[in-house]
Structure 1
Amino acid sequence: MSVDERFVSISGSDRTDAIAFLAHAQRLDDAAVVRLASRPDGLIALWTHTGFDVLATRSVVGSMAPDDLVCDAAALHAVLSSEAPGPVDPGFGLDSAWRGALPARAGYRHVDDVPARSVVELSREGARVARSEGSAHGPATGLLDQNVLSVSGDDESLTASITMRSVFALTGMGFIRDADGRAVTETSETDRIDPQEPVRIRLSPSWIRIDARFGSVYQRRHRDLSVSVL
């Protein structure tokens, strides 16, 4: 594969992590696209829209060309799953399918940590309400837009309100796992999650960033806010 071609190279456990990210993205949106962006620290950031108006991201060790590309999540999942370790062709570019720029990497202030168990419990309660009050088109917008978690910094100068959209995205992407590293499903016992496992909340002027051990989601602080640029 020549240096002029498009390629993505991810090996070892990071390749497994990328495949899991892509699989979850497809479960949330069967037409999902993924954006890959090289980071200065040598990692590749994988990004996807989750269908909840929330961005999800996870970083893996690898290399790619060009340094920023958008491709079909299903196609990349298939080629990473089926081919031997080494560079793979990510398929046709779908740059026009990506809406907006990525959030800035810096400029976030820590607000507070909440137990991962609590986030999973919120997600399960939201799913129960969605099943009883939703429709064939999915959960009601009112449920998705509901603020279900509010956190404040020690001096209360920083506050963040997390919507059910972000809770569903964080758990739907598999970013919270149990103490043995296994995926948390709807039937998993929450006491299998380490009680000390945190979900960290950070703020920038434009975004609420919610970090779990296996990935992050980004919720706009204001729904009508233009997406920030790098």
Structure 2
Amino acid sequence: MPELVFAEPGERNDLGAFVARAVRLDQQAVVRLRAREGGLVDAWVSTPFDVLATRTARADLAPSDLTVSGNELLAALAVVRGDRLDPGHPQDMLWLSALPPTKHWQRVDQLPAKMVSDLADKGIALAKDNVGPTGNPPASLLDQTVLTVTGEGMAVKVPLRCLFALSGMGFLADDEDETIKVTATDSWMRLDARYGAVVRRRHALLPLLV
């Protein structure tokens, strides 16, 4: 039976908040849990904005890589009050997204969280006025670059969809002292806020020739 063991109750509560936001965005969300050295577990979800969101908890996980239903994990987190719980039935086949590398990330710059929050609010208002036939904002709008962050010889273009993911997952804060750290590899970008991070490929994958 899979087992997730938290270092302390606060870690379970924080992961519960993360999973609750993911399920609010997508009722069919699945959560990928991956253990790493130092007694840490990374939780990953794929948001409706084609952006990954992640949060790290101090915990142990067996098996070390497991995908479960967001609803099942959320129910377990809400019901089980001890430090050990069964995160749910393995559903590894439902995880379809590639995960970014764990090494070779380069710090680019830091952004004021309030500025990013204001940009996200403006983008959400614009999206409401440009809803497509499916009821969602068009991809052309989501793919618009709203920020270009430069530093350490890199220029990272941040599309609106990343800000939507930050906002939708509840990661943004209006606190004047809060910042968002921007890191990148050659292929990926990552925006780290206080309550979690969003990650996306910097360049579209080229289609395979057949």
Distance change (3 Å), C-alpha of 1:28 and 1:223: farther
Aligned to 1:146: 144
Q: Alpha carbon RMSD of aligned pairs, Å?
A: 1.5
In structure 2, stretches of 5+ residues that fail to align are none
Separation in 1, partners of 2:56, 2:185: 20
AA aligned to 2:68 is: C
Report the count of equivalent residues: 205
Q: Indicate whether 1:199 and 2:184 are aligned.
A: no
Tell me which amino acid in the other structure corresponds to 1:169. Answer: A
Residue 185 of structure 1 corresponds to which residue in structure 2?
none
DSSP-derived class of the 2:84 partner: coil
Alignment of 1:2-151 (within 5 A): 5-10=1-6, 11-135=8-132, 136-151=134-149
Structure 2: distance between partners of 1:194 and 1:89? 36
Structure 1: give runs of 5+ residues left out of the alignment. Answer: 178-192
* Bigger strand fraction: 2
Whether the 8 Å CA contact 2:46–2:97 is kept in 1: the answer is no
Equivalence for 1:217:
198
* Cα shift readout 1:205-226 (whole Å, capped 9, x = no counterpart): 1101111111111110112269
The amino acid across from 1:110 in the alignment is R
Secondary structure in structure 2 of the residue aligned to 1:133: coil
Q: TM-score, normalised by structure 2?
A: 0.92
**Paired-residue identity, %:** 39
Q: Which moved more, 1:94-103 or 1:115-124?
A: 94-103
SS in 1 for 2:85: coil
Give 2:165's aligned amino acid: A
One of 145, 160, 163 as aligned partner of 1:167: 163
Matches within 5 A, 1:179-198: 193-198=174-179
